[in-house]
Structure 1
Amino acid sequence: MMRPRYCTLLLFSFCLLLTGCSKGVSSLDQLAIQGDFERLERVAREDFSRTYQKSSLYYVALAQERLGKLEEAHASLHLYLAMTGREGTSVSAAKLAVLLGNRVADGALVIEMGLLLEEEEALDEATAKQLYQALLGARRTGDAHRIFTSYLQGSMDGPAYAKVLVESNASFSLIKEAFASLTDEQAVTLFLLASLLPNDVQRAYDYFSYAAMFESKDLDAT
């Protein structure tokens, strides 16, 4: 006679536990929606220390990223990913990883989580652009071309496309091809942008030579 009652009590305790976890996640989500990221970081950190809920760690990383604590957010998110594994990563966490990886120059993280979003059919234009840049930077031109044609081709004009190539340090042949469709003013703007980016000696020489060619073309036209 005691066994059914024991099972009932056990099931009831599990229900209470699950309800508590659900309320915890809900309250963290509410803080995120409200934009109270300082409190979110504190509450989520306390909740993770108490429950070891992986979702709480995601909110810690989210709050830190929003507060500009990029290295801390990067570390928190890596711990989250280590706990969940690739297959257990939520779409929200993957999008945060792409954003954060782009901000801290972790191209490998951007690529891994960006491709996961593609598999989950959850890749939007913003994350696709960051993934595309990371793939170009890693010289994975085949994957980059697929992402561009599938997600970006219809939404980027010539100057925007050329800017993405410059910022991602893409192969110079692609950059020259993109520059060919620009006006002189647009090209000069991007040459100035390129001069502010960290370039190796060869890339700096490529830009110098190409800019000189643009200048001579203008002189010939006058």
Structure 2
Amino acid sequence: MVIRDTPLLLTAGEFGLLPDHQPMTMENIPKAPQNYEARILPIPRPLFEETYARLAFITPPRTALPVKAFDLPDEAVALFDFCCSPESLAKLPTPVATVRLMELITWFALSGAVLGVQGNPLLQHRLRQMIEADPSRNWTLGHAARSFNMSEATLRRKLAAENTSFTETLSDTRMTRALALLQTTTLPIAHVAQEVGYDSPSQFSARFKERFGINPREIRGDLGIFERIGTEVEQIRRDAVSIWG
């Protein structure tokens, strides 16, 4: 994968830390005809900042770039596997689940993977963060404009200056959230559609294929048919950093 012209190569069994709000080019290259599994665990940035504040030996880099975790111990790998299961974390009280994620962040920091400092986010990133908190809501330009204390015309103009629009940001945020749900859960596709604001599964499937060039059902199909998959994506789910393994 490449983020801000910085490549990060991970082979089987390796782990990396991907910064938030950074467009990336990601390429999975399995050894045909074998299947493969690549997992992403999104974690809210504030948890990283709170964890680092408690670790006096951590000085976050000034620039947020992808970084590899070296020699991650078995205990940390097991914790990553646990946290990757939404059902596992959902069974825990919120304070306990938070501590588990902070423990994982600490393991990564001890293995050399420390999240860099975040610059001032673009308006479209702030909008994305707001939508990601509740993607099923019936979002409108008016809702968003009021949240940012600006007129609809001003919001539209500011987003246009960033080469995007409210509709485009809303759709892309929902679709990347849907992609994460399809890859990390066993929820029925109709349920995934509702989670990202679509009452019609067929409409959701059409929009998903328009965005990613593949039907939702194919995401969970036989991965052995792909010898090389290249997908350009933006950061998935919440104002989140991704731990990759």
Query: Same fold by TM (over 0.5)?
Result: no
Structure 2-normalised TM-score?
0.25
Greater CA radius of gyration, 1 or 2?
A: 1
Q: Answer 1 or 2: higher relative contact order, Cα 8 Å, separation at least 6.
A: 2
Higher strand proportion (structure 1 or 2): 2
Higher helix proportion (structure 1 or 2): 1
Structure 1-normalised TM-score?
0.26
